[in-house]
Amino acid sequence: MNDSTKRNFHIRGMRGTTARKDYTPEEVDYIKFMGQKMKKRRRQLGLTQSNVGKMIFTTFQQVQKYETGNNVMNIIKLERMRQALNIPSDRIGFLVNKYNRREIKNG
């Protein structure tokens, strides 16, 4: 991956908006896609961001950032989130395959 294929990924922090140049456009889209799926599942279960935050040992603000795609979860938080939202471990792969359906069919 070279720098010309990367898109700035803006994250709001205490000091304003900073550009992150370590994600490709596809990765940024995937981060946002996963956040949307997590938010949908949370709402299906009738949970608030505060409820989920307590379950995964973080704040509701951080859950909000995960859901909007402004922050990226590490693998430990992703596993905690999977458990909090009652997502079977084999469904994480389903999300990846569903997101990349076009590449799978063309590949």
CA distances from 71 to 10, 35, 63, 91, 102 (A): 9, 9, 9, 22, 26
CA distances from 100 to 9, 46, 59, 97, 106 (A): 20, 28, 31, 5, 10
pLDDT at 18: 47
What tens digit of pLDDT does each residue of 79-104 get?
Answer: 899 999 998 887 765 445 554 544 44
- Which amino acid, residue 66? Y
Q: Which of 32, 33, 27 lies closest to 6 in space, CA to CA? A: 27
pLDDT at 91: 74
pLDDT at 20: 59
pLDDT at 92: 67
What tens digit of pLDDT does each residue of 6-60 get?
Answer: 444 444 444 444 455 678 888 888 889 889 999 999 999 999 999 999 999 999 9
